[in-house]
Homo-oligomer: A and B are copies of this chain.
């Protein structure tokens, strides 16, 4: 497992974009569009597949690499968004998990696939 922090890999993303002079295209709305369009490419791999077939994809090295690329594209835009607008994404995630712990208390949420509004 790579030992880099989010801060470190964000520098790679920033460098890539700044070398190409892309700040001008990377407002919040377009970066959010970046996130969702890449998320869709991830999902498309599993369209019309059964759970078993979806798992089979992941056991094929070439198709797994394609899926890793899609995950990376989503992460790329998350990191770029955070970098552009001074968001500490690690801190944000840990705070959000704490909020989710309150919304989904273990004793209520265990083994359930129900939204917290219906728990």
Contact = CB atoms under 8 A, between A and B. Distances in A.
A25 B51 CA distance: 11
Interface residues of A, number: 79
B78 A95 contact: no
Where chain A touches its partner, the secondary structure class is helix
Nearest to A92: B68
A43 B33 contact: yes
A106 B5 CA distance: 26
Interface of A: 1-7, 9, 12-13, 16, 19-22, 24-25, 27-30, 32-37, 39-49, 51, 53-55, 57-58, 64, 67-69, 71-76, 78, 81-82, 85, 87-97, 99-101, 104, 106, 109-113
6 contacts: A21-B111, A28-B57, A53-B113, A67-B87, A68-B96, A73-B96
